[in-house]
Chains A and B, each alone.
Chain A
């Protein structure tokens, strides 16, 4: 495929639904409730959400591991129903679980996976992957002898044997130490610079913040927010202004009520506001008008954890609308 006929969207999902049938007396579960999502080619896209939100179901449908109940899905422009094998050849998936066959050491595992994807011997990149993932000296060691971090890297390598244009990482750094997490992030950025579109699901919000240029938040089988990372920060009340005053307060002065602060301590007022709409100068002015003396002022930087919680809790709690 040449650059000219590469699709604009790496992944397109429309009206995607999944209902897991009830078994053993358990009720059926509506895991996806009509998900619409477009992931642009060349992006690093974060998919966030609590456990049971439907993230893994969504990516497993894209990977062909779960059968959808309704809707359409295209990977690299290929409909997963019309050409399932071609769609699978266009995507590399690093599953959340460490699932290595103990019979095969790292090199054999990569060779095996490349073969299953139909890659001829001459076109394989086993040595390159072993090198870049830091597994060259463990190439023939039994899989059982690899550390957790090495196994995780081997899983990444297996997802890349066919040079997929789309790479999906399902919680790639869960239980991984800080140093290895940084290594994986660097490698993901490198792959992205080389043209790979990356879809990342994670519980580590810092990870999405550091890596992703777009984020979608899922809750209860739906996309509750989808925007650029910057825009998400701007849209929600993720800024905090903490003001310590010189004398204890019995209640919040009337002059400050329009800003809806909270009295975190007798001498501490906390203002939450959206980056785009908040005016710190007005708040500080109102404090002075209320006759309070400011002892200290601190601000808190946007925290994706707060963004995430507000988005999942819904518009009523943050006063902002959502798109998805």
Chain B
């Protein structure tokens, strides 16, 4: 019987078709409502830029000699990247749990690594896509030098990966919309807003400066800004290490939680 063969085949090896299907599902979900998931963040970022350009642009300091609008634009782009990567995985998991169709994923022969890969790549795709469109739109109004494309890509992918993993964690934990809203408002928004997005961390007084240096998101924003403007506050090597280590630790944690069935399988 063919089904017996498929059962045997899936006993070993990776269910690549399953991973690719899950990834496509995650991408189709946000593309189906692209005005909300892609268009919205682009418009929000442009509105932020308009506010900063009109109200603050002439008076705000320019860290590293960079004009303030050039300084703040990478922060805004990275904020959109991180928030959207998080939103994709967390909302996908929570909505599936609330609607009950999470069973489609749980019944399928997907191991924790395969499940995590498909989900997280969907979040990374949304984060990077929103980031790219936001950057392109901002570049129409703000001259962005793009000092180092490789660094930009590293931090865009590394940052969206980290927040897609955080989204998996949040989506696993949350049992209702209220939980998700609490995490988004009290964890994700402060993390993305207060990590050097709008200001130079080096200009902060203690203990806020030390707190900021202990925040991994600061290194992501700072590293991405380095890729755009050529100026950074932290050492580029430290930023790369922080992104790699944070992603590694969070990836292992998510994998273990999925393998244990935490909040998914009773």
Q: Which residues of A contact B (CB under 8 A)?
A: 1, 6, 20, 60, 63-67, 76, 78, 83-90, 93, 95, 97, 99-104, 112-113, 115-120, 123, 158, 162-165, 195
Q: Of A65, A112, A162, which is within 8 A of B106 by CB?
A: A65
Q: Of A90, A113, A115, which is within 8 A of B7 by CB?
A: A90
Query: CA–CA, A65 to B11, complex, Å?
Result: 18
Task: State whether A85 and B265 are in contact (beta carbons under 8 Å apart), knowing that A1-B5, A112-B21, A123-B2 are contacts in the complex.
Answer: no
| 9 nearest CB pairs, A to B | A115-B21, A1-B4, A99-B100, A116-B108, A86-B11, A85-B109, A89-B7, A163-B3, A90-B7
Contacts of B22 in A (CB 8 A): 115-116
Contacts of A95 in B (CB 8 A): 100, 103
What 14 new A-B contacts, CB under 8 Å, besides A6-B4, A158-B104? A64-B107, A65-B103, A67-B261, A76-B4, A78-B11, A84-B109, A85-B10, A85-B11, A86-B8, A87-B7, A95-B100, A99-B99, A116-B21, A117-B18
Query: CA–CA, A164 to B107, complex, Å?
Result: 12
A-facing residues in B87-131 (Cβ within 8 Å):
96, 99-101, 103-111
A-facing residues in B1-21 (Cβ within 8 Å):
1-11, 15-18, 20-21
Q: Of B6, B25, B105, which is within 8 A of A89 by CB?
A: B6
Contacts of A120 in B (CB 8 A): 17
Is B7 in contact with A103, judged by CB distance below 8 angstroms?
A: no
Is B18 in contact with A118, judged by CB distance below 8 angstroms?
A: yes
Query: CA–CA, A6 to B28, complex, Å?
Result: 39
Contacts of A67 in B (CB 8 A): 261, 265-266
Question: What are 21 A-B residue pairs whose CB atoms fall within 8 Å in the complex?
Answer: A1-B7, A1-B8, A63-B107, A67-B265, A85-B109, A86-B8, A88-B108, A89-B10, A90-B4, A93-B103, A99-B100, A99-B101, A101-B104, A103-B28, A115-B21, A115-B22, A116-B108, A117-B18, A119-B17, A163-B2, A163-B6
Query: CA–CA, A1 to B1, complex, Å?
Result: 6
Query: CA–CA, A87 to B11, complex, Å?
Result: 8
Contacts of B266 in A (CB 8 A): 20, 60, 65-67
Query: CA–CA, A83 to B10, complex, Å?
Result: 9
Query: CA–CA, A115 to B103, complex, Å?
Result: 15
Contacts of B4 in A (CB 8 A): 1, 6, 76, 90, 165
Closest to B30 in A: A103
B237 within 8 A of A: no
B32 within 8 A of A: yes
Is B11 in contact with A97, judged by CB distance below 8 angstroms?
A: no
Query: CA–CA, A63 to B99, complex, Å?
Result: 19
Using C-beta atoms within 8 Å of the partner chain, give the interface range for chain B. Answer: 35 or more
Closest to A109 in B: B104
The smallest beta-carbon distance between A106 and chain B, in angstroms, is 14
B256 within 8 A of A: no
Is A118 in contact with B15, judged by CB distance below 8 angstroms?
A: yes
Query: CA–CA, A88 to B6, complex, Å?
Result: 10
Contacts of A64 in B (CB 8 A): 106-107, 265
Query: CA–CA, A37 to B92, complex, Å?
Result: 37
B29 within 8 A of A: yes
Is B3 in contact with A165, judged by CB distance below 8 angstroms?
A: yes
Is B104 in contact with A116, judged by CB distance below 8 angstroms?
A: yes
Is A119 in contact with B6, judged by CB distance below 8 angstroms?
A: yes
The smallest beta-carbon distance between B259 and chain A, in angstroms, is 10
Closest to A143 in B: B101
Query: CA–CA, A65 to B24, complex, Å?
Result: 23
Is B265 in contact with A65, judged by CB distance below 8 angstroms?
A: yes
Closest to B24 in A: A115
CB 8 Å contact bits of B235-266 with A (1 = contact, 0 = none): 00000000000000000000000000100011
Query: CA–CA, A64 to B102, complex, Å?
Result: 12
Task: State whether A85 and B110 are in contact (beta carbons under 8 Å apart), knowing that A64-B265, A67-B266, A119-B17 are contacts in the complex.
Answer: yes
- Which of A6, A90, A93 has the most chain B CB atoms closer than 10 A to its own CB? A90
The smallest beta-carbon distance between A221 and chain B, in angstroms, is 15
The smallest beta-carbon distance between A276 and chain B, in angstroms, is 38
Contacts of B3 in A (CB 8 A): 89-90, 162-165
Query: CA–CA, A152 to B184, complex, Å?
Result: 35
Contacts of A88 in B (CB 8 A): 107-109
Contacts of A86 in B (CB 8 A): 7-8, 10-11, 109
The smallest beta-carbon distance between B91 and chain A, in angstroms, is 12
The smallest beta-carbon distance between A161 and chain B, in angstroms, is 10
Contacts of B6 in A (CB 8 A): 89, 117-119, 162-163
Is B1 in contact with A117, judged by CB distance below 8 angstroms?
A: no
Query: CA–CA, A19 to B136, complex, Å?
Result: 55
Contacts of A158 in B (CB 8 A): 104
Contacts of A66 in B (CB 8 A): 265-266
Task: State whether A6 and B11 are in contact (beta carbons under 8 Å apart), knowing that A115-B20, A162-B6 are contacts in the complex.
Answer: no
Is B7 in contact with A76, judged by CB distance below 8 angstroms?
A: yes
Query: CA–CA, A103 to B20, complex, Å?
Result: 18
Closest to B104 in A: A113
Closest to B110 in A: A116
Query: CA–CA, A145 to B124, complex, Å?
Result: 32
